[in-house]
Chain A
Amino acid sequence: MKLQVTQENLNRALSSVARIASSRGTLPILANVLIKTSKNRLSLSATNLEVAITHFIGAKVGDGGAITVPARLMQDFIGSLPEGVINLELEGTKLHITTDQYQSVVNGIIADDFPVMPTMNNGSSWKMSSGVLKKALQQVVFTASSDETRPALTGVLIRTSEGELVMAATDSYRLAEKRLGKENQNIELLIPATSLNDLLRIIGDSDEEVKVTHNEQQVLFQVGDIELVTRLLEGSYPDYQKLIPKDFTTTVRLKRADLISITKISGLFARESAGSITIDVDTEKKKLSIRSVASQLGENTATAQASKVTGGGSITLNSRFLLDALSAMTGDEIVFGFNGKLEPTLLQDPNDLDYRHVVMPLKS
């Protein structure tokens, strides 16, 4: 293998793939990145056996070939080189990396030992704008569970329901659902949340379209020159629809920024009590106040003015869950609705009804 590539390209490709190469696994080669020529392009790949990422970059290829080299070292090294042309030349399993100023040799492991990168020969596909996908992921993925004992909940459900594409996740204490508009195909995918976090990173600020191809076992996301393949989770997803409340005894409409700031402040006094804060809704004064008590430190009550209130009452929530939900939304106002102390609560932006966020109350 002998080729020339620019530092900018190589660095960009390494930063998209190197992060999933992990040295913690049992197989040492998984800490490596596969560098491989194909026609006049160079591909860099890494995998952790849940997800595989390949980034194609342009290069001037003299002789073709392939090698795997330690991902961290490569990333740190190439990242600190000055911009310009880098020569890569392979001798045995030693990769010579030379620029005008630097001559380095990196010991690699032969490419044949690298896991087979999954390919997608069949499967149906659809396209969506990267901006829309990115926002949806940011609003939904964080509510997935990290508890491996219930594998289905560690995934994010992407499926079509009544002709609409829907993305949903829950850890059984909170739930987020985003509607993504019309889609004619029948889709039902359960994708590991960790893989989607990798996808988010890859999408970055890209404004290209994302092409999604899937079959029963895996799904491929193509963003520009980058391909991400992840396995799908098996098992059936809970029928979450019926958990989303439709009618409420109490609803409050207020400024999102106001609720965020009083939640943050109350959260300070709720650190001891696992984030437990109590929300009181006062119908007459059109006010929403949050109480939190830290037995050792003291207590706090913070109040915000509401623009519309129906019904009153109080409910206890986890301040972090509430804050996460509020931060995932973007509008100026939000509507908060609940039914007594024990039923699920709903947070929604009155101007963006496509996103719904359910938080379970704490028993107080």
Chain B
Amino acid sequence: MEGRSVQLDDVWQAVLGEIEVSLSRGSFITWFKNTCLLKQSEETTVVGVPNVFIKHQLETKFGDLIIDTLRKQGASVNQIEYKTTPLASRSRVLGEENEGEQPQLTTNVIHQSEASLRQSSNGLNERYTMDNFVVGDGNELAFAACQAVLQQPGIKYNPLYLYGGVGIGKTHLIQAVGNALQVRNPDAKILYIATEQFVREFVMALKKRSMAAFVNYYRSADALIVDDVQFLADKDKIQEEFFHTFNTLHQADKQIIMSSDKPPGDIAKLEDRLKSRFAGGMSIDMHAPDFETRCAIIHTKAESHQAELEPEVVEYLATTIQSNIRELEGALNQLLAWCEVRSLKPSVAIASSLLQVHKARPKHISAKQIIERTARHFQIPLEDMLGPKRDKDIVVPRQVAMYILHEELHLSYPKIAHELGRKDHTTAIHSVRKIAQLSQIDVSLKNTMDNIKEQLYA
């Protein structure tokens, strides 16, 4: 039975695939979503549809199209029937009817949602600990701050706000703090929540009118850890609720830890009072790990998998994947799994063949692309970039372009100057140095350049 329905699904998927291209998207979604093939035999073909309106439409308007397409798939169709089935495809795949809804008039809103909230654990993943967090240049400060928080939770660095790019260990670090706090004080109510989940629960609470339970749940926490607070942007009502929760906890000297991809001030559409509160404790920028740190991370991760890696392999991985630890971990897992299945010893050759897709620096990027992309990012015409103008709003982008040319393509200074229509190579030397210095101090400039690079390699 199951084998057959899989086969029917395949046929129907093929039919839908073909119909999809011959109809407008709106029509296709409206009429063919949640349809399925229930039966296909010499005599009869039965198509399951979600409701009677769709049934009429398929019968009268799309009947011929469906029959033709089915025949093209090699099915013999004599008679076609349309049958309304609730949530057509789903119930059949599960192999059961949606029957017997039990009366459940016995519990009530508040207590249900409260119970379900309580049942869920504190949200922390025990995999993340302070011990397996690899400390390097980029995250030293953040790590130290977290240790200080562990010494005196709620007193020093409250709130603690960590920010930085994707996959550099923010979540790991804040979860590790949560886990450590929980270990030290098993009875404490340590809550870890992703902002997106906070938003979802808030909406749920509104809908079920169980706001009080929601509010109490969060305000009674001994430590609140919130991941990705930038997602609060643009959600006024939730910001207000978060603001009150924040205040309640902060007043009571409960530790609050947050992570985000930008500093508090840079989150657009975040209320000022929240911005100032987020920044009121300690905000720390976390950077992508340097080469040595990446090597150390690979060692730690490999150890946790009880695998041994040759130093060359570690170095190869660390060089190939530079910015994102999550990708690094993924690549490592992929390599280890591949080798384990085939009982091979991980080597640079295997790694390089596996990580083709991960090659972080494709060589096909030209100087011209970099200059164009930079010009587009700063929204100035390409001619101005290459022209003689020396207004500040053109000079800076030009210098940024030179810096990226230097960093990414390793072009010589005379060549860089030439690409941007400058005669003197010392201009290029000066520009590259200036931007290199500036990007150390100016976070927004660094972010800008990261953005441009991301777009280049996207």
- Please determine whether A231 and B99 come into contact, CB atoms closer than 8 angstroms: no
Tally of chain A residues near chain B (CB < 8 A): 48
> Is A79 an interface residue when CB atoms closer than 8 A count as contact?
no
Q: In the complex, which residue of chain B has the Cβ closest to the Cβ of A275? A: B209
Contact A274:B53 (CB < 8 A) given known A27-B27, A235-B98: no
Contact A116:B60 (CB < 8 A) given known A151-B86, A273-B212: yes
CB-contacts of B88-109 with A (<8 A): 98-109
Per the bound structure, the CA–CA distance linking A358 and B104 in Å amounts to: 13
- Please determine whether A363 and B111 come into contact, CB atoms closer than 8 angstroms: yes
Per the bound structure, the CA–CA distance linking A218 and B56 in Å amounts to: 11
Q: Give 1 or 0 for each of A34-74: 1 = CB within 8 Å of chain B CB.
A: 00000000000001011010000000000000000000000
The 8 Å CB contact of B57, one of A116, A150, A362, is: A116
- Please determine whether B213 and A234 come into contact, CB atoms closer than 8 angstroms: no
Which candidate, A134-142, A169-177, A246-254, A326-334, is the interface stretch facing chain B? A169-177
- Please determine whether A231 and B53 come into contact, CB atoms closer than 8 angstroms: yes
Per the bound structure, the CA–CA distance linking A30 and B27 in Å amounts to: 10
> Is A240 an interface residue when CB atoms closer than 8 A count as contact?
yes
> Is B170 an interface residue when CB atoms closer than 8 A count as contact?
no
Per the bound structure, the CA–CA distance linking A152 and B98 in Å amounts to: 10
The 8 Å CB contact of A276, one of B54, B99, B101, B110, is: B110
The 8 Å CB contact of A274, one of B26, B54, B59, B109, is: B109
- Please determine whether A236 and B84 come into contact, CB atoms closer than 8 angstroms: no
- Please determine whether A231 and B52 come into contact, CB atoms closer than 8 angstroms: yes
Per the bound structure, the CA–CA distance linking A272 and B30 in Å amounts to: 42
- Please determine whether A243 and B105 come into contact, CB atoms closer than 8 angstroms: yes
Interface size class of B (residues with CB under 8 A): 35 or more
> Is A285 an interface residue when CB atoms closer than 8 A count as contact?
no
> Is A298 an interface residue when CB atoms closer than 8 A count as contact?
no
Per the bound structure, the CA–CA distance linking A240 and B102 in Å amounts to: 9
> Is B307 an interface residue when CB atoms closer than 8 A count as contact?
no
CB-contacts of A148-168 with B (<8 A): 150-153
The 8 Å CB contact of B84, one of A217, A275, A362, is: A217
Q: In the complex, which residue of chain A has the Cβ closest to the Cβ of B114? A: A363
- Please determine whether A217 and B111 come into contact, CB atoms closer than 8 angstroms: no
> Is A25 an interface residue when CB atoms closer than 8 A count as contact?
yes
> Is A82 an interface residue when CB atoms closer than 8 A count as contact?
no
How many contacting A-B pairs (Cβ < 8 A)? 108
- Please determine whether B57 and A115 come into contact, CB atoms closer than 8 angstroms: yes
A55 to chain B, nearest CB (A): 18
The 8 Å CB contact of B26, one of A28, A47, A172, is: A28
Per the bound structure, the CA–CA distance linking A25 and B211 in Å amounts to: 31
Per the bound structure, the CA–CA distance linking A247 and B87 in Å amounts to: 40
The 8 Å CB contact of A118, one of B25, B52, B210, B213, is: B52
B105 to chain A, nearest CB (A): 5
> Is B51 an interface residue when CB atoms closer than 8 A count as contact?
yes
Write out the residue numbers on chain B whose beta carbons fall within 8 Å of the beta carbon of A49.
Answer: 30, 51, 53-54
Per the bound structure, the CA–CA distance linking A26 and B109 in Å amounts to: 34
CB-contacts of A296-329 with B (<8 A): 318, 320
CB-contacts of B184-221 with A (<8 A): 209-213
B88 to chain A, nearest CB (A): 10
Contact A172:B110 (CB < 8 A) given known A118-B52, A272-B212: no
Which of B56, B103, B108 is the most central at the interface, judged by chain A CB atoms within 10 Å of its CB?
Answer: B108
Q: Give 1 or 0 for each of B207-246: 1 = CB within 8 Å of chain A CB.
A: 0011111000000000000000000000000000000000
Per the bound structure, the CA–CA distance linking A152 and B209 in Å amounts to: 22
- Please determine whether A363 and B108 come into contact, CB atoms closer than 8 angstroms: yes
- Please determine whether B210 and A360 come into contact, CB atoms closer than 8 angstroms: no
- Please determine whether B210 and A274 come into contact, CB atoms closer than 8 angstroms: yes
Q: Give 1 or 0 for each of A261-293: 1 = CB within 8 Å of chain B CB.
A: 000000000001111100000000000000000
- Please determine whether B101 and A152 come into contact, CB atoms closer than 8 angstroms: yes
- Please determine whether A52 and B101 come into contact, CB atoms closer than 8 angstroms: no
Write out the residue numbers on chain B whose beta carbons fall within 8 Å of the beta carbon of A320.
Answer: 209
Q: In the complex, which residue of chain B has the Cβ closest to the Cβ of A49? A: B53
- Please determine whether A217 and B108 come into contact, CB atoms closer than 8 angstroms: no
Contact A170:B209 (CB < 8 A) given known A50-B51, A276-B110: no
Write out the residue numbers on chain B whose beta carbons fall within 8 Å of the beta carbon of A238.
Answer: 101-104
Write out the residue numbers on chain A whose beta carbons fall within 8 Å of the beta carbon of B111.
Answer: 362-363
- Please determine whether B26 and A362 come into contact, CB atoms closer than 8 angstroms: no
Write out the residue numbers on chain B whose beta carbons fall within 8 Å of the beta carbon of A91.
Answer: none
Write out the residue numbers on chain A whose beta carbons fall within 8 Å of the beta carbon of B98.
Answer: 234-235
CB-contacts of B38-59 with A (<8 A): 51-57, 59
Contact A361:B61 (CB < 8 A) given known A27-B26, A115-B53, A217-B52: no
> Is A344 an interface residue when CB atoms closer than 8 A count as contact?
yes
Contact A240:B26 (CB < 8 A) given known A50-B51, A173-B109, A363-B108: no
Contact A344:B25 (CB < 8 A) given known A234-B84, A274-B209: no
B52 to chain A, nearest CB (A): 4
Write out the residue numbers on chain B whose beta carbons fall within 8 Å of the beta carbon of A52.
Answer: 53
Per the bound structure, the CA–CA distance linking A166 and B210 in Å amounts to: 32
- Please determine whether A47 and B108 come into contact, CB atoms closer than 8 angstroms: no
Per the bound structure, the CA–CA distance linking A173 and B103 in Å amounts to: 10
Write out the residue numbers on chain B whose beta carbons fall within 8 Å of the beta carbon of A276.
Answer: 110, 212
- Please determine whether A26 and B102 come into contact, CB atoms closer than 8 angstroms: no
Write out the residue numbers on chain B whose beta carbons fall within 8 Å of the beta carbon of A363.
Answer: 108, 110-111
- Please determine whether B100 and A236 come into contact, CB atoms closer than 8 angstroms: yes
Write out the residue numbers on chain A whose beta carbons fall within 8 Å of the beta carbon of B109.
Answer: 173, 274, 318, 362
CB-contacts of B3-38 with A (<8 A): 25-27, 29-30
Per the bound structure, the CA–CA distance linking A276 and B111 in Å amounts to: 12
The 8 Å CB contact of A175, one of B101, B105, B107, is: B105
B90 to chain A, nearest CB (A): 12
> Is A239 an interface residue when CB atoms closer than 8 A count as contact?
yes
Per the bound structure, the CA–CA distance linking A47 and B102 in Å amounts to: 33
Per the bound structure, the CA–CA distance linking A240 and B106 in Å amounts to: 12
Offer 18 A-B interface pairs, CB within 8 angstroms, sorted by A: A25-B30, A27-B26, A27-B29, A28-B26, A50-B53, A116-B59, A116-B61, A118-B52, A150-B101, A152-B101, A172-B104, A173-B109, A231-B84, A235-B98, A239-B103, A243-B103, A274-B209, A320-B209
Contacts A28-B26, A116-B60 aside, 15 further interface pairs with beta carbons under 8 A come to: A25-B30, A26-B30, A27-B26, A30-B30, A116-B56, A116-B61, A172-B105, A234-B98, A235-B86, A240-B103, A274-B110, A274-B211, A276-B110, A361-B108, A363-B108
Q: Which 3 A-B pairs have the closest CB atoms?
A: A238-B103, A234-B86, A217-B52
